[in-house]
């Protein structure tokens, strides 16, 4: 029964979503678990933070060199 207030493809979307949820719940475990995703995300965040700190230090050093060469600071 189609609801006249919802877009026509909505029923199809819900049916496909239910199929995917059923497959996910009944399939054997594959891929990374939530804990593994947290660890991977933490490693990526740490690398990104390290790179940001390195870039900031390099930019600050170059800025100080430029300032000194123009007779400032």
Domain boundaries, the chain: 10-69
**pTM of whole model > 0.75?**
no
Q: Looking at residues 21-31, what average pLDDT do you find?
A: 80
Between CA 16 and CA 73 the distance in angstroms is 65
Token duo for residue 7: 């877009």
Q: Looking at residues 34-59, what average pLDDT do you find?
A: 94
pLDDT at 53: 95
Token duo for residue 39: 């660890």
- Collect all residues with Cβ–Cβ distance below 8 Å to 3 and sequence separation of at least 6: 10, 11
- Collect all residues with Cβ–Cβ distance below 8 Å to 11 and sequence separation of at least 6: 2, 3
């Amino acid at each position: 029964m189609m609801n006249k207030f919802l877009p026509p493809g909505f029923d199809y979307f819900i049916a496909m979503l239910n199929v995917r949820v059923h497959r996910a719940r009944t399939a054997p475990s594959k891929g990374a678990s939530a804990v593994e995703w947290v660890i991977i995300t933490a490693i990526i965040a740490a690398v990104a933070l390290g790179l940001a700190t390195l870039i900031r230090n390099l930019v600050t050093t170059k800025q100080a060199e430029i300032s000194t060469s123009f007779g400032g600071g």
